[in-house]
């Protein structure tokens, strides 16, 4: 299965899982009245919205480049993630208010056994989804699936908290239900912040990690005939990396040889970092390269 089909399937499985968990928790909350279960149900309902947005964003992001979007549509993932974060953050506040009220005025949990059974089912279903998402992330590096997986991890932990709340309430610690619901609301808020932070970094064209940039320079150094490299600029757009750099070759190098060197480097970067969009600019080696770029970019010079 190629990466595009894998991303589409992962986003669809996420939506389906969220729908099932929300429906089951909603019915169980009506029966038990548990505040922590309510908080977990709201979290799953938010998953339906966020996973649905991811489902749409993945399909937009996978569209090929066109005349109006020459670098593709990858940033649709980050835009969707930012919108999710704002929505999830607002919902975390509402859930926190509900939890605080239940903490002040605790109530007994009805049909605790049913609530426990539902939460065990939720833990198993969420754990299977997270495991599947992790495999997709390792293969594709998708930011939107990473954000989705992070949120489901908080759900998994929250489900364990609901079980603890039900057990403690049965033992007479009624305020444990409201307290754990409040903790879950804080976890939702943290998840929203994490998604927003990562989305903003991509939208602001943050450079790739230093290890990846250094690896790109190593590939440039290993290219036959290259005297230097400078002006490395990188960013991400969805799952695709964007790489631009200047190669310096001796001024006596003929055009065909210089072009072949650039092609070799481009292919090596594509093999290492696919999917990636690479632009290599060829410069004659000389004292004028680089200029101000040396201040902000790593530079390689052949000392021979």
Going residue by residue through the chain (304 aa), what tens digit of pLDDT does each one get? 577 788 889 889 999 999 999 999 899 888 888 877 887 888 788 888 878 887 888 888 778 878 888 777 888 878 877 877 787 787 778 778 877 887 887 777 666 788 788 888 989 999 999 999 999 888 877 767 877 787 787 778 777 877 887 788 888 887 887 788 788 788 878 878 887 888 888 888 889 988 999 999 999 988 888 888 888 999 988 778 899 999 999 988 999 999 999 999 999 999 999 889 999 999 988 766 654 344 345 555 555 4
| Domain extent at residue 92 | 3-203
Report the C-alpha gap between 22 and 225 in whole angstroms: 61
Angle between helices 35-61 and 112-140 (to 10 degrees): 20
**Domains of the chain: total:** 2
155 and 239, same structural domain?
A: no
Write out the chain in H/E/C secondary structure.
CCHHHHHHHHHHHHHHHHHHHHHHHHHHHHHHCCHHHHHHHHHHHHHHHHHHHHHHHHHHHCCCCCCCCCCCCCCHHHHHHHHHHHHHHHHHHHHHHHHHHHHHCCCCCCCHHHHHHHHHHHHHHHHHHHHHHHHHHHHHCCHHHHHHHHHHHHHHHHHHHHHHHHHHHHCCCCHHHHHHHHHHHHHHHHHHHHHHHHHHHHHCCCCCCHHHHHHHHHHHHCCCCCCEEEEEEEEEECCEEEEEEEEEECCCCCHHHHHHHHHHHHHHHHHHHCCEEEEEEEEECCCCCCCHHHHCCCCEECCC
237 and 145, same structural domain?
A: no
Instruction: Select from 182, 203, 224 the last residue of a domain.
Output: 203
Q: Render pLDDT for 141-195 as a digit per residue (tens, 0 to 9).
A: 776 787 778 778 777 877 787 788 778 888 888 788 778 878 878 887 887 888 7
221 and 146, same structural domain?
A: no
Instruction: Select from 188, 203, 218 the last residue of a domain.
Output: 203
218 and 198, same structural domain?
A: no
Q: Render pLDDT for 217-250 as a digit per residue (tens, 0 to 9).
A: 999 988 888 888 888 999 988 778 899 999 999 9
239 and 103, same structural domain?
A: no
């Amino acid at each position: 299965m190629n990466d595009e089909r894998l991303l589409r399937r992962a986003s669809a499985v996420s939506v389906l899982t969220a729908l099932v968990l929300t429906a089951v928790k909603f019915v169980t909350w009506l029966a038990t009245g548990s505040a922590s279960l309510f908080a977990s149900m709201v979290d799953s309902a938010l998953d339906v919205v966020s996973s649905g947005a991811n489902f749409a964003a993945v399909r937009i992001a996978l569209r090929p480049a066109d005349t109006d979007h020459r670098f593709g549509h990858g940033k649709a993932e980050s835009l969707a993630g930012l919108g999710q974060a704002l929505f999830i953050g607002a919902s975390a506040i509402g859930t926190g208010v509900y939890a605080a009220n239940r903490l002040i005025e605790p109530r007994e949990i009805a049909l605790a056994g049913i609530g426990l059974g539902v939460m065990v089912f939720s833990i198993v279903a969420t754990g299977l989804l997270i495991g599947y998402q992790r495999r997709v992330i390792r293969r594709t590096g998708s930011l939107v699936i990473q954000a989705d997986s992070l949120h489901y991890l908080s759900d998994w932990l929250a489900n364990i908290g609901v079980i603890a709340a039900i057990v403690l309430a049965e033992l007479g610690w009624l305020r444990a239900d409201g307290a754990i619901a409040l903790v879950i609301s804080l976890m939702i808020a943290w998840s929203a912040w994490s998604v927003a932070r990562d989305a903003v970094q991509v939208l602001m064209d943050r450079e790739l990690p230093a290890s990846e940039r250094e690896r790109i320079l190593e590939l440039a150094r290993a290219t036959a005939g290259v005297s230097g490299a400078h002006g490395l600029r990188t960013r991400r757009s969805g799952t695709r990396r964007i790489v631009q750099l200047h190669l310096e070759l001796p001024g006596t190098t003929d055009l065909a040889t210089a072009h072949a060197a650039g092609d070799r480097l481009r292919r090596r970067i594509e093999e290492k970092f696919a999917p990636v969009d690479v632009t290599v600019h060829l410069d004659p080696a000389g004292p004028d390269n680089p200029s101000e770029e040396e201040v902000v970019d790593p530079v390689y010079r052949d000392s021979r």
